């Protein structure tokens, strides 16, 4: 399965690097692009990727601190509930967080916690006390403060590691989706939350994507992770993928996804062909 994906990655990486170098300074390392022929291929590659990072993190730190997003991501992670992963992954060492959450009851259909629990966490032997969701009985602002406080306690005990270059938490893996407008987590285009540099968790009450009240990791936290993966499928996302990855001019909108730039960590894009269809290298579409 990886032969197609890997040879493409190698080819693209080589091209990308040359482009990057040729246009050096135009944009920095936009990470590894993994473009898949089919959703099934993407789902398998994503499960392999997460399982490998889990194994490496447990070996190194004894735990695996992973942050999830909402939307189609959870469905695309579905193979982790199947063989061999459901047996081979060391689920008891997982600590689960949310890169963003809607401020609704955990039982509400809009809850990212509920989405993940129903679609993944209830199907694998996760330790319930290792699941760190938001306090759903308080306001968005209080939920953000409360969640940051909870994460700070877990940084003290090194369940969540700490960045070498800031006091930010260093999650082992942050999984993000991408909106058609270029938003990641609940960081929307031109929103003041994008400028937050002190708080680890912030809140918004005017999300353009319903529901309006949300909490979200801030950019410093996202960019302090050891690994960040952006998982994107479908043609509706092709323009935001182009704006997030390609060498775009200064007059192009700076979308939130473009601000995902891990300082020391690794960035990987899991794309299907439709989502990748507007990437510069037009030969990708052939």
CB of 190 to ligand 6PG, least distance (A): 16
Measure the CA–CA gap between 180 and 211, rounded to whole angstroms: 17
Measure the CA–CA gap between 116 and 97, rounded to whole angstroms: 10
* Cβ proximity to ligand 6PG, 54 vs 112, nearer residue: 112
Determine what percent of the chain falls in helix, strand and coil, rounding each to the nearest 5. 40, 15, 40
* Cβ proximity to ligand 6PG, 12 vs 69, nearer residue: 69
* Cβ proximity to ligand 6PG, 134 vs 159, nearer residue: 134
Measure the CA–CA gap between 214 and 226, rounded to whole angstroms: 24
What are the residues binding ligand 6PG (CB under 6 A)?
A: 69-73, 100, 102, 112, 177-179, 183-185, 209
> 174 is written with which tokens?
């942050």
* Cβ proximity to ligand 6PG, 100 vs 172, nearer residue: 100
How deeply is 86 buried, as exposed, middle or buried, from its count of CB atoms within 10 A (0-12, 13-18, 19+)? middle
- 272 phi and psi angles, rounded to 5 deg: -95, 170
CB of 135 to ligand 6PG, least distance (A): 17
What residues contact 69, with CB distance under 8 A and at least 6 apart? Answer: 98, 99, 100, 112, 175, 176, 177, 184, 185
* Cβ proximity to ligand 6PG, 16 vs 270, nearer residue: 270
């Amino acid at each position: 399965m990886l032969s197609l994906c890997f040879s493409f990655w190698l080819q693209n990486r080589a091209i990308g690097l040359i482009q990057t170098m040729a246009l050096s300074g135009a944009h920095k390392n936009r990470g590894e692009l993994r473009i898949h022929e089919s959703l099934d291929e993407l789902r398998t590659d994503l499960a392999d990727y997460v399982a490998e990072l889990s194994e490496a993190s447990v070996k190194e730190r004894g735990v695996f601190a992973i942050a999830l997003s909402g939307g189609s991501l959870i469905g695309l992670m579905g193979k982790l509930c199947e063989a061999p992963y459901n047996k081979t992954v060391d689920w008891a060492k997982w600590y689960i967080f949310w890169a963003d959450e809607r401020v609704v009851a955990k039982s509400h259909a809009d809850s990212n916690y509920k989405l993940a629990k129903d679609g993944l966490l209830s199907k694998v032997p996760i330790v319930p006390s290792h699941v760190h969701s938001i306090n759903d009985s308080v306001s968005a602002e209080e939920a953000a403060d409360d969640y940051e406080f909870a994460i700070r306690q877990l940084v003290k005990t090194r369940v969540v590691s700490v960045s070498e270059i800031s006091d930010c938490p260093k999650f082992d893996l942050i999984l993000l989706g991408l909106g058609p407008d270029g938003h990641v987590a609940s960081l929307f285009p031109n929103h003041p939350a994008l400028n937050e540099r002190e708080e680890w968790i912030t809140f918004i009450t005017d999300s353009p994507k319903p529901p309006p009240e949300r909490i979200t990791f801030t950019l410093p936290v996202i960019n302090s992770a050891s690994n960040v993966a952006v998982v994107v499928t479908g043609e509706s996302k092709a323009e935001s993928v182009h704006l997030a990855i390609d060498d775009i001019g200064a007059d192009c909108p700076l979308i939130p996804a473009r601000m995902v730039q891990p300082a020391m960590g690794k960035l990987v894009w899991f794309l299907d062909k439709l989502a990748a269809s507007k990437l510069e290298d037009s030969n990708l579409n052939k």
